[in-house]
Amino acid sequence: MKTYAIVLAAGKGTRMKTELPKCAFPILKKPMIEYIVENIERSSIDETILVIGHKKEVFEDILDRRVMFAYQYEQLGTGHAAKMAEEALKDKEGTTLILLGDMPLINDKVIDKILQKHAQSDNDLTVVTTNFDNPKGYGRIIRDQYGNITAIVEHNDCTSEQKQIKEVNTGIYAVNNKYLFDVLPKIQVNKRKQEYYLTDIVEIMTTSYKVGTFVMRDNFRVMGVNDLYAISIAEKYLRDEINKMHMLNGVSIVNPETVTIGHNVAIEEGVTIHPNTTITGQSIIKKGAHIGPNTEIHNSVIFEGVSVKHSLVYDSTVYERSTIGPFAHLRNNAVIGRDNRIGNFVEVKKSSTGANTKAAHLAYIGDTTTGKNVNFGCGSITVNYDGVLKHQTIIGDDVFIGCNTNLIAPIKIEDEVFIAAGSTVTKDVPKGHLAIARNQQINKADYTKHLIKPKIDEK
C-alpha cells in the first residue's frame, strides 16, 4: 500500500513581516520548505503534494519536479487547503500524512514512526500530539474518561479549564485516503475566523472511524515557525543537532556554539573547524582540512589538507594542501590547484590555477586560466572588464608576474615568461620572454631647489 504526503504551505505568514512567503524563508541558507521535502524524500513516503497559494512561483522555483503542486487561491483555512489535494489523491488507496510547511525540524525517522504506528494500530486517523509546559497558541487535545481522543479545540476557542491542558495538536495527521476526502466536505466554517479547520476532522471521525494518537516526545521537532524570532530558535536546534552529528563522526569543532553547518554539508573525519565559521549549501570538506576561524564556505569543495582561514569561499573548489587566506575571497567557480597559496586580500573569480601557484597578497585574478608554478606579485591584477564585456586572460606555466602588474585582457602569457614590476601589459607575451611595459624613468638634477620652501616659524 502506498503512502503520500500533503504539505500545507499556502499561507502568507504575515507575522514574519518579510517579502518571502513564510515557508520559503531561509534557515541556514536553505528555504524552510526544503527541510520538510528532503526528509519526506528520505522517508517511506512515495509521493508528495505541496499545497501552495501566496507567491506560488517561489515554491515552484525551489521545488520544481520534486513534488506535485496543488493550489489554494483563497486562504480559507487548513481544512480547505487539504481539500485542494483531492484531485491528486482521490482515486489512490493508501495512507496520507498531512504536515504543515513551517515545521523544518521534523525528520524522516519521525515520519516513518508515525506511519508505522498508524498502520500497526489499524487506525483510520492518527493525530500527532505533544506536550508543552506553556501551550499557549496551540489547539488542545480533548480526551474522554477512557483516554480516547474526542476533539481538538483551538486555543482561542478553549474554555478556561481546557486552556490548562498541556497536550496539544501538532498539525500532523495520518489518515486513510479512502476516508479523507469523504470527511473533508463535512467540516463546517468556523464562525469566528470564517475558515475551515482541519482539526474538526477529529470530532467528525470519532463517531464512525477508529481514531488514535501518536505522542511526540521531542516537542521541539514539531515547533511551528511563525516569526523571525522562531527562525532563530529553529536554527539553534538545527545547528546543535548537525554539529553533534559531525563531532560524533570524527570532526573536531572548536567552540561549536559559534559554528554553523548546513543540513546538506558533507564533512569527512579528521577535519578541524575553528570558531566563527559557517559552512552551508552542498559543500564537501575532505580529510585533514582546517577551516576557520572566521570563515564562510558555501556550495564549495575543499580537498585534503587544505587550510582556509579568515576568508570567504563561494561556489568554488580548492585542491589538496592549498592555503587560503587570511582575508581571501574565492567566488563564481574559482578552482584552486593543489599546493597553492592564495593569501592576504586576494580575490579569485571565475578562474583556475595550476599546481604550486602563489598569489600571496593584494591581487585580483578574474576570468583567468593560470598554469602551474606561477607567481603573482603584490598588487597584480588581471584587468578583465572593458566597461561592457568581460575578457579572458591565459597564463602558462612557470610565469613570474612582478608587483603592481596589470594584465589587460584579452591577453595570453605563454610559459616561462617574466613580467617586470609596474608593467601594464596589453599584448601577448611569447614563451621565455621578459616583458617590460612602463614609462622610462627620468631624473631631473637640482629640481628641488627651484621649489618654494615654506617658511619655518622659529618661535
Q: Which helix (H) or strand (E) holds 306?
A: none
- Alpha-carbon distances of 86 from 80, 90, 198, rounded to whole Å: 10, 5, 14
Provide the CA 92 distance to its chain's centre, in angstroms: 34
- Residue 2 three-state SS: strand
- The length of the chain is 459
Among candidate residues 54, 263, 361, 433, the one labeled active-site is 361
Which residue do the cell numbers 572548536 mark? 254
What's the CA gap between 290 and 297, in Å, rounded? 12
Question: Can you name the residues that pair with 97 across neighbouring β-strands?
Answer: 5, 174
What's the CA gap between 174 and 184, in Å, rounded? 14
The identity of residue 371, as a single letter, is G
Whether 361 is catalytic is yes
What's the CA gap between 19 and 311, in Å, rounded? 30
DSSP conformation class of 188: P
What's the CA gap between 6 and 265, in Å, rounded? 27
The helices-and-strands tally (H runs, E runs) of the chain is 8, 41
Catalytically annotated residues: 361
